Each structure stands twice: as structure tokens, then as C-alpha cells.
Amino acid sequence: MEELQTQISRELQEAMKNRDAVRVSTLRLLIAAFRNKEIERKKTLSEAELLDVIQTEGKRRREAIEEYSKANRQDLADKEKAELAVLQIYLPQPFSETELKQLVEKAVQSVGAQGPQDMGRVMSALMPQIKGRADGKQAQQFVQQLLTAAKS
């Protein structure tokens, strides 16, 4: 749909008027990422595909924050955090830890998982439900804990 792209373009104009440099640069990068993905796919992107692009950009920022923090470059880490905050405005609300644990339990029950050997089946059932709203690594840890406890 055009709605999300239109909203981002409108907010870019607004940020330019307000001289919000971080917001302007982040939204410009996001629009460029949309265009690149459209060129790559040779079609206009759906709303879900636009959200995928935003999630990818958010993931890049989180990884960069981690790397810059390890390298003691707080100035660069802060810049990435500011960009991530702008991107998160456009993403769906993440699941709480409790909600994620409930989804993990349902996925384990739905595939009839018995122990750690069923991890792949549980994760493949779970990932479409949490896509974009929860961290895959965190979900994997919950699945592992639950399957290990089930085995004992």
C-alpha cells in the first residue's frame, strides 16, 4: 500500500521544516531502502514488505549499536540509537515477555514437541506469529528453556 510510504514522505517534509537532522537523515535512508527494494523486486512494495524493510533497518541499527559500544564509540552508538528510535515509530508494538512466553507455549503444544530435538519444528511454527514483533533470539531462548524443562 501507498499509505505508509506517503506518511513517511509527509513526515520527512515536516522534519525538514523543523530542521530535525536525525529524523531527516533516517527517513531519507528509509525511503532509499524502500526504493532499492522496489528496484530489486521490480514491483511496488506491499505494506508487509515495507515493514520488513523497516525491521531490517532497525536490526542493522541494533547491531551497529552493539558493535560501537564494544569499540567504546559512544558518540556513534548514540547516533544509531537516535535513528533506531525514529524507525521504531513505524513498527508494530513488540510483544511483552509474558505474551511471547504464552505464544511459545502454544507453539510447543501445537507441534507436540517432546524435547530439544523438536526445536526446529517449534521455531518454524512460532516465527510467522512473532515476525516483526519479537526478537527471534529471545523466542529461541524461551523455546529452549521450555523444551529442556519438558525433557526433565
Q: List the pLDDT tens digit at each of the 152 positions of the chain.
A: 458 888 999 999 999 999 999 999 999 999 999 999 999 999 988 887 888 899 889 889 999 999 999 999 999 999 999 999 999 888 878 788 888 888 888 888 888 878 778 788 888 888 888 877 777 788 888 888 887 876 65
Taking the CB of residue 4, how many other CB atoms lie within 10 A of it? 17
CATH of 97-151 among 3.90.1300.10, 1.10.10.410, 1.10.240.10, 3.40.50.1950:
1.10.10.410
CATH fold label, 3-88 = Hypothetical Protein Yqey; Chain: A; domain1 (1.10.1510)
Residue 75: exposure state from Cβ atoms within 10 A (0-12, 13-18, ≥19): exposed
Instruction: Break the chain into its structural domains and give their ranges.
Output: 3-88, 97-151
Rounded distance between C-alpha atoms, residue 68 and residue 117, angstroms:
36
Residue 149: exposure state from Cβ atoms within 10 A (0-12, 13-18, ≥19): exposed
Nearest by Cα to 67 from 81, 52, 46:
81
Residues 9 and 33 sit within 8 Å (Cβ to Cβ): no
- State the DSSP string of 81-135: HHHHHHHHTTSPPPPPHHHHHHHHHHHHHHHT--SGGGHHHHHHHHHHHHTTTS-
